[in-house]
Amino acid sequence: MVKTETEEKNWVGRPVPRKEENRLLRGRGKFADDIKLRNMLYLGFVRSSYAHARIVAVDTSRAQARKGVVSVLTGPEIASETQPFLEIGPEPCAKIKDYPLAVSKIRYQGEPVAAVLAESPALAVDAVELVDVQYEPLDPVVDVEEALKDESVLHEEAATNRVWRGVFEYGNVDQAFAEAAYVVDIDRLHFHRFSSTPLETNVILAQWDGKDERIYYWCNNSFPSFAIQFLAAHLGVPIDRIRVETSDIGGSFGIKITSYPQMAVCALASRKAGGRAVKWVETRSEHMLASAHGNERTFRRTRVALDRQGVITALVSEHLDDCGAYPRYEPLGCVIWSQVFPGVYRFRNARIDFTQAVTNKCPVGPNRGYSRMQHLWFLERVVDICAHQLAIPADEMRLRNYIRREEFPYTTPNGCVYDSGNYAKMLDVAKALIGWEEWKKKQASAREEGRLIGIGIGTTLDSGTNNFGQSQIVNPAAPFSGNSQGANCKLDIYGEVVVAVGSCPQGQGHETTAAQVVADVLNIHPDTVTVRTGFDTERNVHTGFSGTYASQFAVSGLSAVHGAAQKLKHEMTRLAAFALQASSDDLEFGSGSTGPEIRSRSTGASINYWGLSNIVNVNSAVLPPELHDITLNCRYVWRAPFKVPDKEKKYGSLTLTYASQLHIAVVEIEPETFIPRILDYAAVDDCGTRINPPIVEGQVYGATAHGIGAALMERCVYDSLGNMLTSTFSDYTPITAMNMPNVKYGHIETPSPHSYSGAKGMGEGGAAPLHAISAALQDALSARGIVIADSFNNGDSLFRALAEQKSGQGTKPVKVERRS
C-alpha cells in the first residue's frame, strides 16, 4: 500500500536519529588509525627543540644502523626531489620556500627536521632519538609587532616577516570623525592563540605504489580537495594519480585542513621504501607543537566615532595577524574576516589596515570560527568599551547599533549580503532565557557585598559557503572564485538508493541530514537511503572545493544532494512512465509492500526500485532508444551564485549565508582566587531552517564549549625564546565536564533566501562565548576602571589587572574625547 505523500513528507526539519550512531556506539567506527595495511612501516618525525636556528648538520648514521630502521629522510633530500609548496599570497609571501621538512633553518619549535621509517611504532620512536642534529640558535621572534621590525627575519628569501598588507576602506571615514559627538581611542586589544584540538590527532597512511605509479592516502585530512592540489604540484605528479580516502574523523574544527605537508613526507617515505605502506600517527604533543593553531591577532590604535546617541558612525584600526612560521593556508585569513566586516552593526564608514606577519611559532590553520571570530571579538570589545565609556547599558548600546530586521537582506559596506536575521529578537530571547532583570538585581546586591559579578552579551555571525573569489583580494592572480559541491545519487543494481557526497564529516551528521533530504525528494524513509560520506577521489563526486569546513554543508552539500536526488527522480519518473505505461503526471512516489516504489494513481500498478534498476542495469534490451540517456546514476554539481569580487575596492559578496548567535554570560570573579566562574549561561542560535534540530543544538553546545574553554582555560603559551609551554593536555587544559556550565539553549529561525531549504550553514559558532565572557568581565570590572583587552582571562591575569589598578601602575588603554 502506498502511503500518501503528505504522510511521509518533510523529513527535513525533524529530529531524525543519527545514522552514524550504530557503528560509533559499538566501537565500530573506522578511524584512520584503525586501518592496517600489509607490510606497513611506521614514520616518526625528528623535531627541533629550538624555535629559530640554523641547521649545521644532521647525522642520521646512528639511526640508520639501528635494527628495524628502514630509512631516514632529511630536508635537503626532499628539497632535491620536490617543488616548494604553493604559496597563496603574492610577494613577499610568494618568495617563501616551504618544504615539509626543514632544509637549512628551523622556524618554530617542533618543526620536523627528519623522518625515520621503522618496522614498528616503538622502533620509530627509538630511532628518532638516534638522529643527531646540530643547531646554531638564532634570535627568536614571538611577537607580531617585534616581527614587523624585521630585525630577525624568518624567511631570508622573502627578506621580511611581513606576509601581506592591505587597507580595507569604505564610506567616508574623515567626515564621520569630523561630525562625531564622541571619539573613543582604544590603544591595544589582543586575541590570543588557541586551538580547538580535535581529540583524534592527525593520522596518515600513504603508499606510493611503484606498481601503478599512484599515491594512495587513507587519512583524516578535512579538506582533501585542497590538499591534493597542493600535493600534486609539490610532488610533481598528475592530480588523478593521487587517491585520498577518508572515513570517520575524530574532530577537525578546521585544524586538519593543513596536514598536507605531513602527507607529502609519508608519500615520499613510502616511495623510498620501495612502495611499502607508511603510517604516521601524530602524538598529542606533536599536535600541540606543530600541527596548526588558530590565528592570533593584535588590534592597534583603534578609533571609534559615535554620535550623541552612542551610535557608531565610523571605525579605524590597525590589525596585526600572527600566522606563525609559515603562511600555508594564509594569507587567506587576511580577507576572510571581511566576510563579517561590520559584524552585526550598522556603521558604514571604516578603515582597517590589515597586516599579517610570520613569527617563530607553530603555523596557523583554519580553526573553528576562522579569521572571523577574531574580528567579531574585536567589534564586540569596541561596542562594550564604548558603551561603558558613554554609560550606555550594554543591551541598549546593541539595540542602537544592530542592523535592523527590516534591513535584510543587508548589504555591508564591503558588498557582502547578509541574507536574513533578527538580532534584536535574539537579544529578547536570550534575556528571557537567562532572566536578565533578576540577574541585574542580584548583580546590584552582590556589588554592595563587594562581589564582582558581570553580565555580558556576545552577538556574532557564522558566515557559511564562502566565495573563493575573495582569495583574489589577497592575490589578484589567484585562480580561485565561487564555490561548488558535488553529490551523486543513484539506484544501485538491486534498487538501493545510494548517495555519495564530497564531504568528510567529523560529527556533523552528514549521513543523516543527506538521507533526510533524499527521503523528502523520493518520499521514502531515510533508513532506506545509504549515504557514503568520507572523501574518496575515486567516487568522482568531488569538486575542487569539496571537504568539510567553513560552515557550509547545510547549504552547499545538501543543495548538491538535493540536486542529484531531483535528477534521479526525474529519470525514475520517465522510466516508470514507460514501465507502467502511464503518464508522468499520474505517477506517485512512495513505499509499498516491497519497499520504495512508484505507482500509477489511476491503475494502481506499481514498480519498485529493483524493477526500475533492473531495466537499466541488467535488462537493457527492453529500453526504447528515447530512454537510453537514463543511467539512474546522477551526479549533480551545485554552484553558489557568486561573482568575482572587485579586487581594487575589496568589494563583493564573500559569503552566501549568515547564521547568527547571541550569548549571554553571567560571570563572577572569585574574591580569593580571582578565578572567573560562570554562574549562568544562555545561547540563542539562528541558522534559518534547521534540517535536524538536535544536530544543530549539538553544534551550538560544542561551539559554546570551545568558546568558553578558549576564553578561560585554553591558550597556546610561548616563552620569549619560542618554547611552547602548553604542549600536553595537562598544560593546555581543554575544557572538561567539571568546567562546562549548563547552557540554556534557545533559537529563532529567519530562513535564508539564499538556500533552497532556508537553511544557513552553522557549526563554527562565531566564538560567541569569547565575546560574552570578555563583556561580562568588563561589566564586572568597569567600575574599577579596568578594560578587558585580551580574549583570554584567568585568575592570574585578572589578579594582575586588579593589582596594577590598585597600585596605580595600570596604563590608560582607553581615551574618550567628548565634543558635545
Partner 1 sequence: MPDEPAPVTLKLKVNGKPCALTVEPRRLLVELLREDLDLTGTHVGCDSSYCGACTVLMNGRAVKSCTMFGVQADGAEIVTVEGLEKDGQLGPIQTAFAEAYGLQCGYCTPGLLLSALQLLGSNPKPQESEIRKAIAGNTCRCTGYQNVLKAIRLAAEHMAKG
Residue 766 one-letter amino acid: G
Query: By CB under 8 A, how many residues form the interface with partner 1?
Result: 59
Could you say whether residue 17 binds partner 1 (CB under 8 A)? Answer: yes
Q: Which is nearer to partner 1, 250 or 751 (CB)?
A: 250
Residue 393 one-letter amino acid: P
| H or E element, residue 658 | strand 655-669
User: Min. distance of Cβ 425 from partner 1 in angstroms?
Assistant: 23
User: Min. distance of Cβ 506 from partner 1 in angstroms?
Assistant: 5
Piece in contact with partner 1 (CB under 8 A), picked from 152-160, 267-275, 373-381, 738-746: 738-746
- Count CA atoms within 13 Å of residue 618 on its CB side: 9
Q: Which is nearer to partner 1, 516 or 750 (CB)?
A: 516
Could you say whether residue 548 binds partner 1 (CB under 8 A)? Answer: no
Q: Which is nearer to partner 1, 31 or 610 (CB)?
A: 31
Residue 758 one-letter amino acid: G
User: Min. distance of Cβ 669 from partner 1 in angstroms?
Assistant: 22
User: Min. distance of Cβ 120 from partner 1 in angstroms?
Assistant: 9
Could you say whether residue 199 binds partner 1 (CB under 8 A)? Answer: yes
Residue 422 near residue 750, CB atoms below 8 Å: yes
Residue 721 is given by DSSP the state T
User: Min. distance of Cβ 745 from partner 1 in angstroms?
Assistant: 8
Q: Which is nearer to partner 1, 28 or 447 (CB)?
A: 28
Residue 213 one-letter amino acid: E
Could you say whether residue 348 binds partner 1 (CB under 8 A)? Answer: no
* Beta-carbon contacts of residue 448 (< 8 Å; ≥ 6 apart): none
Q: What CA–CA distances, in Å, run from 112 to 44, 270, 726?
A: 10, 17, 18
Q: In the range 682-721, which residues lie near partner 1 by CB under 8 A?
A: 694-695, 697-699, 701-706
| H or E element, residue 590 | strand 587-592
Q: Which is nearer to partner 1, 652 or 766 (CB)?
A: 766
Which of 248, 322, 462, 680 binds partner 1 (CB under 8 A)? It is 248
Q: Where are the alpha helices (DSSP H) in 217-319?
A: 224-235, 260-272, 284-290
Could you say whether residue 782 binds partner 1 (CB under 8 A)? Answer: no
Q: Which is nearer to partner 1, 474 or 703 (CB)?
A: 703
Q: Which is nearer to partner 1, 19 or 155 (CB)?
A: 19
User: Min. distance of Cβ 220 from partner 1 in angstroms?
Assistant: 10
Could you say whether residue 166 binds partner 1 (CB under 8 A)? Answer: no
Residue 600 one-letter amino acid: S
Could you say whether residue 804 binds partner 1 (CB under 8 A)? Answer: no
How far is Cα 775 from Cα 782, in angstroms, rounded to an integer? 10
Q: What CA–CA distances, in Å, run from 255 to 211, 293, 720?
A: 33, 7, 25
- Count CA atoms within 13 Å of residue 510 on its CB side: 34
Piece in contact with partner 1 (CB under 8 A), picked from 25-33, 231-239, 582-590, 793-801: 25-33
Could you say whether residue 214 binds partner 1 (CB under 8 A)? Answer: no
Could you say whether residue 132 binds partner 1 (CB under 8 A)? Answer: no
Could you say whether residue 405 binds partner 1 (CB under 8 A)? Answer: no
Could you say whether residue 130 binds partner 1 (CB under 8 A)? Answer: yes
How far is Cα 793 from Cα 770, in angstroms, rounded to an integer? 10
Which of 249, 289, 417, 587 binds partner 1 (CB under 8 A)? It is 249
Lay out the site mask for partner 1 across 167-196 (x = CB under 8 A, - = otherwise): -----------------------------x
Could you say whether residue 771 binds partner 1 (CB under 8 A)? Answer: no
Could you say whether residue 25 binds partner 1 (CB under 8 A)? Answer: yes
Residue 291 one-letter amino acid: S
Q: At what angle do helices 436-448 and 423-434 cross, to 10 degrees?
A: 60
How far is Cα 564 from Cα 490, in angstroms, rounded to an integer? 8
- Count CA atoms within 13 Å of residue 210 on its CB side: 9
Could you say whether residue 574 binds partner 1 (CB under 8 A)? Answer: no
Which of 5, 7, 34, 396 binds partner 1 (CB under 8 A)? It is 34
Cα dihedral across residues 124, 130, 131, 134: positive or negative: positive
Q: Which is nearer to partner 1, 154 or 249 (CB)?
A: 249
Could you say whether residue 38 binds partner 1 (CB under 8 A)? Answer: no
Which of 201, 246, 483, 608 binds partner 1 (CB under 8 A)? It is 201
Residue 485 one-letter amino acid: Q
Which of 225, 246, 508, 782 binds partner 1 (CB under 8 A)? It is 508
- Count CA atoms within 13 Å of residue 27 on its CB side: 0
Q: Which is nearer to partner 1, 21 or 585 (CB)?
A: 21
User: Min. distance of Cβ 516 from partner 1 in angstroms?
Assistant: 15
Q: In the range 718-737, which residues lie near partner 1 by CB under 8 A?
A: 728-730, 734, 736-737
Could you say whether residue 506 binds partner 1 (CB under 8 A)? Answer: yes
Could you say whether residue 64 binds partner 1 (CB under 8 A)? Answer: no
Looking up cell 538501493 gives: 496
- Count CA atoms within 13 Å of residue 315 on its CB side: 27
Which of 6, 27, 450, 629 binds partner 1 (CB under 8 A)? It is 27
Piece in contact with partner 1 (CB under 8 A), picked from 50-58, 295-303, 506-514, 781-789: 506-514
**Residue-level length of the chain:** 820
Residue 292 near residue 220, CB atoms below 8 Å: no
Lay out the site mask for partner 1 across 747-766 (x = CB under 8 A, - = otherwise): --------------------
| Closest to 758 measured CA to CA, from 749, 767, 770 | 749
Could you say whether residue 77 binds partner 1 (CB under 8 A)? Answer: no
How far is Cα 345 from Cα 222, in angstroms, rounded to an integer? 33
Q: Where are the alpha helices (DSSP H) in 504-598?
A: 510-522, 558-580
Piece in contact with partner 1 (CB under 8 A), picked from 1-9, 20-28, 418-426, 800-808: 20-28
Q: And the C-alpha cell for 241? A: 594519480
Q: In terms of C-beta density within 10 A (0-12 exposed, 13-18 middle, 19 or more buried), how is residue 738 classed? A: exposed
Which of 122, 239, 444, 605 binds partner 1 (CB under 8 A)? It is 122
Q: And the C-alpha cell for 144? A: 607580531
Tell how strand 410-411 and strand 349-357 pair up: unpaired
| H or E element, residue 396 | helix 394-401
Could you say whether residue 680 binds partner 1 (CB under 8 A)? Answer: no
Q: What angle do CA 200, 204, 208 make, to 5 degrees?
A: 170
Could you say whether residue 26 binds partner 1 (CB under 8 A)? Answer: yes
Could you say whether residue 527 binds partner 1 (CB under 8 A)? Answer: no
- Which residues are registered as beta bridge partners of 655? 466
Q: And the C-alpha cell for 578? A: 514507460
| Sheet containing 676-686: order of strands | 452-466, 655-669, 676-686, 744-747
Which of 75, 110, 140, 198 binds partner 1 (CB under 8 A)? It is 198
- Count CA atoms within 13 Å of residue 294 on its CB side: 30
Which of 5, 7, 21, 527 binds partner 1 (CB under 8 A)? It is 21
* Beta-carbon contacts of residue 83 (< 8 Å; ≥ 6 apart): 233, 234, 236
Could you say whether residue 516 binds partner 1 (CB under 8 A)? Answer: no
Which of 250, 275, 482, 795 binds partner 1 (CB under 8 A)? It is 250
Q: What angle do CA 704, 709, 713 make, to 5 degrees?
A: 165
Which of 3, 14, 29, 237 binds partner 1 (CB under 8 A)? It is 29
| Residues within the interface to partner 1 (CB under 8 A) | 17-18, 20-21, 24-29, 31, 33-34, 66, 121-122, 126, 130, 196-201, 248-251, 253, 281, 283-285, 506-509, 694-695, 697-699, 701-706, 728-730, 734, 736-738, 740, 742-743, 745
